[in-house]
Structure 1
Amino acid sequence: MKAIAITRAAKDGSNIDALQDITLPKPVAQGHDILVAVNAISVNPVDTKVRSGFSGDAPRVLGWDAVGTVGGSG
């Protein structure tokens, strides 16, 4: 699975150098989860706020809004 992740804080919220393309293992839907094959995303204001105040473990995948096709369920 491909994703965009933040690797360090971007204090002004716009430092594109803090973003990195990463590859993650394909998740498995469990319980009440669904697995969605994402076709498109948008940038949510939450993404910018997370980037500007990031202090957690890196890399952290960004993205709150997505559209796609359900590919499985738990």
Structure 2
Amino acid sequence: MLLALQFSHIGGGWTGAAVGVINGFGALFVFVVNVQAGRGGARLGRRGTWILAGASAVALAVLALMFTTRMWLIAVIWWAT
């Protein structure tokens, strides 16, 4: 929902296509991240470190998305989280 709202504020007639492409690449990225998150053994458990890092990254990304007005930058921030 956040991504579609951000694109609608920027404008352009291809908001639906942009959301689909960004979410599609994000789903491909999840395959790599899920494998990496299951490896290793830290003090916080196998996934605790990844959960903490992910929560911090998402919080920063939401703040960055509030001030972004370019579609390519929205895509980069979205994929980085």
**What TM-score, normalized by structure 2, do the two folds share?**
0.31
Larger Rg, first or second structure (1 or 2): 2
Looking at secondary structure, tell me which structure has more strand per residue. Answer: 1
- Structure with the larger RCO, 1 or 2 (CA within 8 Å, 6+ apart): 1
Looking at secondary structure, tell me which structure has more helix per residue. Answer: 2
**What TM-score, normalized by structure 1, do the two folds share?**
0.33
